[in-house]
Amino acid sequence: MTAIPIVALDFPDAERAMTLVKTLDEKVRFYKVGSELFTSSGAEVVQWLRDSGCDVFLDLKFHDIPNTVAGAMRRVAEMGVRLATVHATGGVKMMQAAVEAAGASCGVLAVTVLTSLNDATLGEAWGRERVDVENEVLRLAELARTAGCHGIVCSGQEAKAVSSRHGKALKLLVPGIRLPGDAADDQARIVTPEAAVAAGATYLVLGRAVTAAKDPRAAMEAVNRALKS
Ligand code: C5P
């Protein structure tokens, strides 16, 4: 089974995002709108993507009290978004509120541990001397499943452990994807598209591996080839 590629439109304005979508054209039909683009261009860019026949993953990683998250998630579902994120550390009640508000048309994904963190930096953030990222991802995945989430966001490095424990009950969205030879940038836990799929990923988020490539269309073709092989 292969995975669905989603390209992250991590741009400061809609113009640059639209240019990339037009460049990639039929190579990809699923885009991620994150906090940078949403802060500058809001619902308009989501509507433009929908009008262009693309699916939208709105990655705003909500983390607030259940009532606030539910209200935000209702607006997200009204915009026709297909996938949206909350932080699993917001707790089961918050995730349940998000799932209920998102309804049947929008899948809620719980972010477990950001792919930019490792054992040391996660321990520092949580004030704990010893912390194991994989254990924390597995623990948070359990909470996401209890809350009825569509799936979780984790790095390709923990994906195998999560998919062997939860199988199809939790879809896995894996960011931090790099083609062989790419720079890791600020990511701590990167994998290739093939490794992410082998580990059980359902969705792959392609950021700088495509958007910062000299030839984004050629980079996307390489990803698509890797996913087919
Ligand atoms: O450019 P790069 O491939 O590193 O971008 C990864 C994308 O995935 C970014 O848009 C980032 O916000 C997102 N992401 C992540 N780690 C998570 C959740 C989302 O890197 N846990």
Euclidean distance between CA atoms 150 and 57, whole angstroms? 13
Average pLDDT over residues 79-95: 98
Q: By CB neighbour count within 10 A (0-12 exposed, 13-18 middle, 19+ buried), where does 191 fall?
A: buried
Q: DSSP string spanning the chain?
A: ---EEEEE---SSHHHHHHHHHHHGGG--EEEEEHHHHHHHHHHHHHHHHHTT-EEEEEEEE-S-HHHHHHHHHHHHHTT-SEEEEEGGG-HHHHHHHHHHHTTTSEEEEE-S-TT--HHHHHHHHT-S---HHHHHHHHHHHHHHTT-SEEE--HHHHHHHHHHHGGGSEEEE--B--TT---TT-SS-B-HHHHHHTT-SEEEE-HHHHTSSSHHHHHHHHHHHHH-
Q: Is the pLDDT of residue 132 over 80?
A: yes
Atom 9 of ligand 1 has which residue's CA nearest to it?
A: 207
Q: Is the pLDDT of residue 163 over 80?
A: yes
61 annotated active-site: yes
Question: What confidence score (pLDDT) does residue 1 get?
Answer: 63
Question: Which of 7, 9, 10 to mutate for ligand 1's pocket (most ligand atoms within 8 Å of CB)?
Answer: 10
pTM: 0.94
Across all residues in the chain, what is the average pLDDT?
Answer: 95
Q: Which domain holds residue 200?
A: 4-228
Ligand 1 touching residue 205 (CB < 6 A): yes
Q: Domain containing 169 — which CATH number? A: 3.20.20.70
Question: What confidence score (pLDDT) does residue 188 get?
Answer: 82
Atom 10 of ligand 1 has which residue's CA nearest to it?
A: 8
Give how many domains the chain has, as a whole number: 1
Residue 96's pLDDT band (boundaries 50, 70, 90)? very high
Euclidean distance between CA atoms 110 and 116, whole angstroms? 16
Instruction: Kindly report, residue by residue over 49-78, the tens digit of the pLDDT.
Output: 999 999 999 999 999 999 999 999 999 999
Euclidean distance between CA atoms 222 and 210, whole angstroms? 10
Euclidean distance between CA atoms 141 and 111, whole angstroms? 9
Instruction: Kindly report, residue by residue over 134-156, the tens digit of the pLDDT.
Output: 999 999 999 999 999 999 999 88
